[in-house]
Homo-oligomer: A and B are copies of this chain.
Amino acid sequence: MKTPLAVLPIGRDLGGLPLYRAVKRSLLQRIESGEMAPGQAMPNETELALRFGVSVGTLRRAVDDLVAEHIVVRRQGRGTFVATHTADRFLFQFFHVERSDGLREAPVVELVSFERTRLDDEAAEALALKPGLQALAIDHRLRLQGKAVVHDRVVLPAHLFRGLTEKRWRDRPGTVYQLYQSEFGITVVRAQERLRAVGADRTAARVLGVAAGQPVLQVRRVALALNGLPVEWRISTVVTAQHDYVNLLSRHEVRGSDR
């Protein structure tokens, strides 16, 4: 016999909102709140349907949406799990640089610097925060096949990453997004990037070993968490002499945002 679990409220009135959307929202809230943690199995479908007081089909419809948004993953015969960030997912969804001949591989990341600083105007705007707020600025060099190809500057608002030190950053076992998730409860689910071509500035030129002024690709990214709020600002500089930024225009948009 399973533990007798509480009935889950779907949310007050749902004004015209389809039932499955209400269920989805409720599930999302439970995930955001940490009640169902990443990696953890959710109750099974019939169980959840029972608790929500909806049919299995309706419950499945709600979960379908979460699966499409990479927020949960289903495994036949095993269960449904709150999605964890993996190196694979990071590579696939957030790392777009590959060699011009199509060779794709994980970059080797070197830490260049880790500083406490304050948000400049651009970072503040991107993060929807006030300029001058305490922040962390972390620089990396990324190598592909030994070649220095990308310079990354990551800017994090300090109040979201309390207790983050250079050592913890350095010693993280996986990707930085895995670190955000496991150590700070921040799950990055989507991002917006803006790209432009510029002449390499001194920092990038030094870190990447190219001449200042040489054309490089600059990628500005703001990463958004589960709750839709921006949590990371990043400027990547890419040497595109032998590498490209690839973009597949074959993906699909989320149906309804709910955020």
Contact = CB atoms under 8 A, between A and B. Distances in A.
Interface of A: 68-70, 93-94, 100, 189-199, 215-218, 220-221, 224, 238, 240, 243-254
9 contacts: A93-B249, A191-B249, A195-B247, A197-B216, A197-B217, A198-B240, A199-B215, A224-B250, A251-B254
B70 A197 contact: no
A245 B199 contact: no
B215 A252 contact: no
**Is chain A's interface secondary structure helix, strand, loop, or mixed overall?**
strand
Contact of A254 (B100, B252, B253): B252
A147 to B, nearest CB: 15
Given A93-B249, A191-B250, A195-B195, A216 B215 contact: yes
How many subunits of this chain does the assembly comprise?
Answer: 2
B240 A100 contact: no
**In this complex, which of A197, A220, A249 has the most chain B Cβ atoms within 10 angstroms of its Cβ?**
A197
Contacts of A100: 194, 196
A67 to B, nearest CB: 9
B250 A190 contact: yes
A176 B252 CA distance: 22
Contact of A251 (B195, B245, B251): B251
Contacts of A191: 248-250
A243 B133 CA distance: 28
